[in-house]
Amino acid sequence: MKRFWDHAVAVTRPEGGHAVLLDGRPLRLPGGARLATRSAPLAEAIAAEWQAAGERKGGEMTMEQVPLTRLLGTAQERVAADPAPVIEGLARYAETDLLCYRGDDPRLAALQAREWQPLLDWAAAAHGAPLTVTAGLMPVAQPPASLAALRAAVAAHAAEELAALGLAVPALGSLVLGLALSAGRLEAAEAHRLAVLDETFQEERWGADEQALARRARMAADVALAERFLALLRA
């Protein structure tokens, strides 16, 4: 769409929280609601991405240029009203968490154990959720109490945080990695590295695939966006 504003600024709302104005008019989400956040740093960052989008009035912009806005909009319009489906969808990742499935190659399995087990130990200690590890791809049943504990950990997040987890967890294929990212136990780059451990191991033998590299770049960008959004939200 064409940029129709000159200036985007963050403001404090009289009723509390923060908003973004485009030439003095409130930035609205597709459903018509005014975009709002309790975080001043997040509002400032959103205003900055709208100030940069399209470069100047009359320029062409896309929603890809305002990723923080899209994530906050998801939280406001889709998650806040009914977080239960998001919580349930994220919690299900614990049933087949990536970190629980080790490769058949002994060298890969040893690498995965060394790199992944500390995160599983963290989940057991931090959330009371020990998970069962297996070799190969056949599903392994996880302890119901652990699944319930991880669901509770997800449910403890606010709507905005759930939106960020909703971006990071599917990208990583691991609820444990997503929760570690949210808790500050892992940075985005490290979470991404751990999530693609098996792929990079295979590439050392067979070489890189351009499509796989492009997919991983998109995945890394999603995880980094989730991390940045959480940092701004909590600043």
pLDDT digits (tens, 9 = 90+) for 1-45: 899 999 999 999 989 899 999 999 999 998 899 999 999 999 999
* Segments of 13-57 assigned E as strands: 18-22, 25-26
| Overall average pLDDT of the 72-80 stretch | 96
pLDDT at 208 over 90: no
Phi, psi of 28 (to 5 degrees): -110, 150
Q: Are 191 and 180 in contact (CB under 8 A)?
A: yes
pLDDT of residue 207: 78
Instruction: List CB contacts of 81: < 8 A, sequence separation 6 or more.
Output: none
- Tens digits of residue pLDDT in 121-140: 999 999 999 999 999 878 89
Q: Are 27 and 35 in contact (CB under 8 A)?
A: yes
DSSP characters over 138-176: S--PPPHHHHHHHHHHHHTS-HHHHHHHHHHHHHHT-HH
Domains of the chain: 8-79 (3.30.2180), 84-234 (1.10.3580.10)
Rounded to whole angstroms, the Cα distance separating 180 from 91 reads: 14
pLDDT at 204 over 90: no
Q: Name the pairing type of β-strands 134-135 and 101-102.
A: parallel
Rounded to whole angstroms, the Cα distance separating 207 from 201 reads: 10
pLDDT of residue 206: 78
DSSP characters over 208-220: --HHHHHHHHHHH
Q: What is the pTM of this model?
A: 0.94
Q: Is 195 helix (H, G, I), strand (E, B) or coil?
A: helix
| Overall average pLDDT of the 49-53 stretch | 96
For the record, the structure tokens of 4 come out as 């129709």
pLDDT of residue 203: 85
pLDDT of residue 212: 84
> What does the radius of gyration of the chain's CA atoms come to, in whole angstroms?
20
